[in-house]
Each structure stands twice: as structure tokens, then as C-alpha cells.
Amino acid sequence: GESVGLHLPTLSVQEGDNSIINCAYSNSASDYFIWYKQESGKGPQFIIDIRSNMDKRQGQRVTVLLNKTVKHLSLQIAATQPGDSAVYFCAEKNNTGKLIFGQGTTLQVKP
Amino acid sequence: DAGVIQSPRHEVTEMGQEVTLRCKPISGHNSLFWYRQTMMRGLELLIYFNNNVPIDDSGMPEDRFSAKMPNASFSTLKIQPSEPRDSAVYFCASSFASGGETQYFGPGTRLLVL
């Protein structure tokens, strides 16, 4: 069946280092991917998205990379800050237009 | 912009009671989504509307759940009767694109059914 999964449930990084959060997806026909950040007690917050006709997209301190050959998505956060501590979800848009979310990766930033 | 507004933020009720969750999407957005989040199952789409019309309700758990969108600025998710296994955080999201992209989430309603 269709699934979007994350390789690591928890990622711990030192403040100031770069973070890389990975995501695998199974539907090769997916044409849109998105990353969300969810802080404790809050709703998911949009970070960045990418379409399948792109390999890379950059935002403010964040970069999303898409490797369609191996169906892999990653989120890179530069100079990680304590405020980046949260759960990060990747999601893909399936054939029916619905977003399918992964289980999430917890990012812990150590001061 | 105030963002997606949900009420109540917290709800504690007893099994068998009716629960109504409310959502006001971002003005101008034409798609609205209801999600449920639990530790065991993660974030699940229950139903979504496009231009106030339900498009896909395949995620609605059972007949106890119903959702309506009487106009572009208001939607409800109702559970009747509620059961302890319905305890979860319920999120409403809206998007400008009918394709469901770039959804903006509300703060959620934390429901506890005793």
C-alpha cells in the first residue's frame, strides 16, 4: 500500500549545526511533497514544499531535496536553533489529491 | 490574517455524549480538511471539502462521525455518540488550492472522552 515513512524517529543535534531529516515515499506517481513542523500543543506549520519537476528548493535556512530515483525526500535546516525543536512531518500528495503524512521525526536541539 | 480558527480548544466529555467541533477556515480558501491525530495512528485525513462540497469522506471512521460545511467560512465535525477511542487531537486545515496543496492548520481541538 501507499506509505510515507521517516527513517529516524528522533534526531538530536547541537545548536548551530546543520540538521538533515529524511523521508521515504512509496508512490512514484506523487507529484507534490511538503514538510511541516509541529511544536508541542500546536497544529502543523507549513515549512516548504516541492513539486516533482524539481530536485531542490530553498527557503529561509531550509532546503528540501527530492530524489525521485530512490523516492527519497529530505529537509535540511542550516544553523539549527533551539526554536527548531519540534516534530517534523513529510507528506506526499497521492493520486486522489490527498496529503499522506509520515509518522514524524522529533528534532531535539541541544544548547 | 487570523489563520484557521478552531473551537473549542479542549473538550472533555463522557462516553455517549455528542461532541461538536467547529472550524473557521482562512478567508478566501476554498478547500477545508478535517484531520485526527493520535500517537498510534499519526495524522489521518477524515474528510475534505472543496467549495463547501464534501469530496472525500473515506477517512471518516464510522457513522458516528459526520461533517458539514454550510458556507465558505464555517464547518463542523460531529461525533455522536462519542466513545473513549475517539480521544485525539482534531485539526482543521484549509488551502487555497483545490488540489489540497499547502494546507494551513488550525491549533486543534484536544478531545478526551471518558
Give residue-wise pLDDT tens across range A21-46. 999 998 888 999 999 999 999 999 99
Strand partners, A99: A93
A16: buried, middle or exposed (CB in 10 Å: 19+, 13-18, 0-12)?
A: exposed
pLDDT tens for residues B1-58? 689 999 999 999 999 999 999 999 999 999 999 999 998 888 999 999 999 999 989 9
Tell me the residues of chain B between 3 and 42 that have a Cβ less than 8 Å away from chain A: 4, 42
| Residue in chain B lying closest to A37 (CA) | B105
Q: B-chain residues within 8 Å CB-CB of A40?
A: none
